[in-house]
Amino acid sequence: MSLPKSTFRSKLYRDYKGLEDASAHTRIRFFEKQEQAIRELDDEEFSELLFGYAEALYSAGAYAKYKVVVDEVISCCLEHYAIKYKGEDVFLVSIFRKAVACYHLQEYEQAVHLFKELLRLDPDNPGGRMGLRRTLYRMKPEKVLNARAISVLLLLVAALVTAAELLFVRYFFPSWAKTVEWTRIGLFALGILVLVGTDLYHRLRAYREAARFSRAMEKRRQGRDKVGYSG
């Protein structure tokens, strides 16, 4: 539901709403300067200004501060069960944006948890699916990091072999030139193969895990719908 609408609007509310076309930073400065007075407004006006402030923080990329404020937004949504702001479900949007904020702050485990919570509530949410997939890709497991280290080592050895080939082999050991050349090519190709192959494997694994979770949540919702319909 939406917060009940009244006809009266305070001057402070009107002043803030007059900044809707202003930059996010302008709206942030206004709210923070007037925060004490804003918190004394009635629930309806305060909630709407709080949602606008959170939206401005997110738009400005102030993710650390947004994470703190959005918790209050979510609490407000839970208190009123469901709230619409600018035609959007504030609760779902807030969970998504908090997950994105965690992603940008490299708090990947929390981001995964939030994206999964979003998909539990809304399995069809495209942002939740994409966010979960991207975050899982960013979370490099130890075996992926080890494979990358091996690929870097192979490329480094290939570079050293190249230097040795140019400085010594061609001049002092020409009979070895062909063998060294093929060794260099092999090491370089193997390093690239390990690097690209590991990345593709990890990307595919993240995609499958996100898709599998999304499908599981969709089946769970369908099961609840069937139970509700039969009841």
* pLDDT tens-digit readout, 69-90: 999 999 988 876 557 667 778 8
Residue 7's pLDDT is what? 61
Cα–Cα distance measured from residue 71 to residue 55, given in angstroms and rounded to the nearest whole number: 13
Please check whether residue 45 is in contact with residue 9, taking contact to mean a CB–CB distance below 8 angstroms.
Answer: yes
Residue 148 has pLDDT above 50, yes or no: yes
Residue 226's pLDDT is what? 60
Write down the domain spans for the chain. 11-105, 142-230
Q: What mean pLDDT comes out for the span 126-140?
A: 92
Q: What mean pLDDT comes out for the span 155-167?
A: 88
Residue 12's pLDDT is what? 92
Q: Which of 1-5, 86-90, 132-136, 161-165 has the highest mean pLDDT?
A: 132-136
pTM of the model: 0.79
Residue 228's pLDDT is what? 54
Outline where the chain has alpha helix (H). 11-17, 24-33, 35-38, 43-59, 63-79, 90-104, 108-121, 126-138, 142-164, 170-172, 177-230
Q: For residue range 15-35, what is the model confidence (pLDDT) as tens digits?
A: 998 998 899 999 999 999 999
Residue type, 20: E
Q: If you average pLDDT over every residue of the chain, what do you get?
A: 87
Residue 135 has pLDDT above 70, yes or no: yes
Please check whether residue 85 is in contact with residue 111, taking contact to mean a CB–CB distance below 8 angstroms.
Answer: no
Q: For residue range 178-196, what is the model confidence (pLDDT) as tens digits?
A: 888 899 899 999 999 999 9
Residue 1 has pLDDT above 70, yes or no: no
Q: What dihedral do alpha carbons 161, 162, 164, 167 form, nearest 10°?
A: 180
Which residues does 203 contact at the CB level (< 8 Å), separation at least 6? Answer: 137
Q: What mean pLDDT comes out for the span 50-71?
A: 95
Q: Largest Cα–Cα distance in the chain?
A: 93
The proportion of the chain whose per-residue pLDDT surpasses 90, expressed as a percent, equals: 54
Please check whether residue 165 is in contact with residue 184, taking contact to mean a CB–CB distance below 8 angstroms.
Answer: yes
Cα–Cα distance measured from residue 18 to residue 39, given in angstroms and rounded to the nearest whole number: 18
